[in-house]
C-alpha cells in the first residue's frame, strides 16, 4: 500500500532488513495524520526481533508484529491532536513518553489502555 503522507522506508525496520508494518496500520496512520492536521514524524515502525532486542524493547513488543509505531510528540497540544485523531479511528492502545506516542493495533492485547514510559 502506498502512503499519502509517508515514504515507504519510514515504516520499515531501521536495521535495513525490510520488515514493514501492516497495510492496515499504514492506512490508519495516513487517516490519523489527515485528521490531526499536523505532521507525524515516525521514530519507529516495524522491528525485526533482532533490532527490537538491540533497542532494548520487550520481546512482547507490538512492533515485532508490524502493528505498532512511535510518533514524535513533544508538546501537550501535539500529543492531544495525535491521540484524538487515532481515537476517532477506534484505535485505543497508546503509550506516552516525553518525546513520543506509541500507537498500536495489536489484537492480541487488551483494548482501551494507555501507559506511561517512566
pLDDT in the model for residue 82? 98
Closest CA to 37 of 67, 100, 82: 82
Tell me the average pLDDT across 43-54: 97
Closest CA to 86 of 33, 22, 40: 33
Cell numbers at residue 105, please? 493495533
Q: 8-116 has which CATH code?
A: 3.30.1380.10
% of the chain beyond a pLDDT of 70: 100
pLDDT tens, position by position, 65-116: 999 999 999 999 999 999 999 999 999 999 999 999 999 999 999 999 999 9
Domain edges within the chain: 8-116
Residue 2 to residue 67: CA distance in whole angstroms: 17
Q: What is the pTM of this model?
A: 0.95
53 band by pLDDT with thresholds 50, 70 and 90 = very high
Amino acid at each position: 500500500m502506498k502512503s499519502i503522507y509517508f515514504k515507504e522506508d519510514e515504516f520499515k525496520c531501521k536495521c535495513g532488513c525490510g520488515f514493514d508494518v501492516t497495510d492496515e496500520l499504514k492506512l490508519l496512520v495516513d487517516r490519523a495524520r489527515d485528521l490531526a492536521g499536523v505532521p507525524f514524524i515516525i521514530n519507529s515502525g516495524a522491528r525485526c526481533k533482532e533490532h527490537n532486542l538491540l533497542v532494548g524493547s520487550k520481546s512482547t513488543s507490538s512492533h515485532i508484529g508490524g502493528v505498532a509505531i512511535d510518533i514524535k510528540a513533544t508538546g501537550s497540544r501535539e500529543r492531544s491532536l495525535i491521540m484524538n485523531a487515532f481515537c476517532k479511528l477506534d484505535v485505543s492502545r497508546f503509550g506516552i513518553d516525553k518525546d513520543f506516542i506509541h500507537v498500536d493495533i495489536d489484537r492480541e492485547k487488551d483494548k482501551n489502555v494507555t501507559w506511561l514510559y517512566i
